[in-house]
Structure 1
Amino acid sequence: MPPSDDKAKYCYEDPDTWSYLADRKLKNADLLIKIPRRSSIKQNGAPRRVSISRGVEIQINLPGKGDPITRRRSIEFSETNSIEEYKSCEDPFDNIWFNKDEYDDIRSSNRKIVKCVERGTDKNFCVRGLESMMDDVQQVRRRNSIDAVLTEQEAQRDSGVYDEEKLSESYRRTSMASQAQAAGRAETDTADIQLYLQSALMLLRRMSV
């Protein structure tokens, strides 16, 4: 299921990942977990709370679990509250978030940089963060990681078992090579930065003499 217009407009989702997941015919409910919003009303100190007398009990049935998990929902009110007003941003959203056209321009610019580097026409570009676009192996590894997790998830559903540790382990196994490469790049970047700082410090000392 592709992202909504708002998500596409402000680039909250990666269209390539959505397209790939759509091929597996996954539902949106399997991918997204809604995060509850926190109230903007702050409470002072630790005043006595007033709770409603009736609550709502919810039973959650997890695959592979015999007994359901019971959760109770209730609402509590503080006797003293303070309200803080937050001024809304005056700038239009288009000035704050990248829109779809700007996001497309960024992707197009990244592709041009990758082509220049691969052709060897310009070595002054920094390609950090664009490695996945330069190496087909990276894209294959990414899809293999997704496939491994989804395959394990499907197997657990078929057997009526729910084991989050196995899901995590299936992803860890397929991403070990990528993790090792990322650690190697981090060490290289650290060495380059230290060398740059040493050179800059020596230059400043010479200028101060």
Structure 2
Amino acid sequence: MPILHRLAAAGTALSVAAVLLATPALGDPPAPVDESLLVPTTLDSSFAFTCRERPTGPVCTGDRHIDTGWAPLDLPCHVPLHGRYVSDRHTTRYYDHDYLGYYRTFRTDDVDQLSTSPGGPTTGTIESRTRFVEPYAVPGDDSTVTIITTGTIWDIRTVGRPSIFRAVGTVVEPPGEAGTFTGRVFRDGVPTRYEDAGLEVVLPEDDFFDHVCRAATGT
């Protein structure tokens, strides 16, 4: 074999070896993420996060479970009410190579349990089962996040009965602005369609209190 051919072959072999050494073997665990460098950080969150390096940057997944137990509620009902909040949430946060957050997703299953007795049983509920996404206009800056929530926004009912009030659709909350709702609302089973309506129009505060009192007392 001519010497130039041998040198070329040796060079090719060395190049392949270098690539193999530089490329992680399949099955190697992702590199660890220094969560203290993430913006926004995961370290001060109520979620328990696990973070992994990905080709696009760190990806962190977290879960949170809350059960407040029963406590008195300060609501304008004709009888005292007690409430218990139970929430299960899962979230994924996406960061770029500069460790700046640029996108978040959530999956929620939240229930406010209502009762006319201090320790239950539950006589009424306010349920919210949604998915929402939070894209950043400026990576790493929470003040530039738009919150887009889709699913059952509110479902207020007496246990074992049809909904008193139910809103199903999408809420969009731009940074620093009040949210708007697009979807269908059912009041005692009667549907109404809304397009980009203010939340105070969809569910005024006085109506909310009335629905909650009805749900808890069964009246």
TM-score of Structure 1 vs Structure 2, range by shorter chain: under 0.3
Normalising to structure 1: TM-score of the pair?
Answer: 0.23
Normalising to structure 2: TM-score of the pair?
Answer: 0.22
Bigger strand share: 2
Bigger helix share: 1
Kindly indicate whether structure 1 or structure 2 has the higher relative contact order, using CA contacts under 8 Å at least 6 residues apart.
1
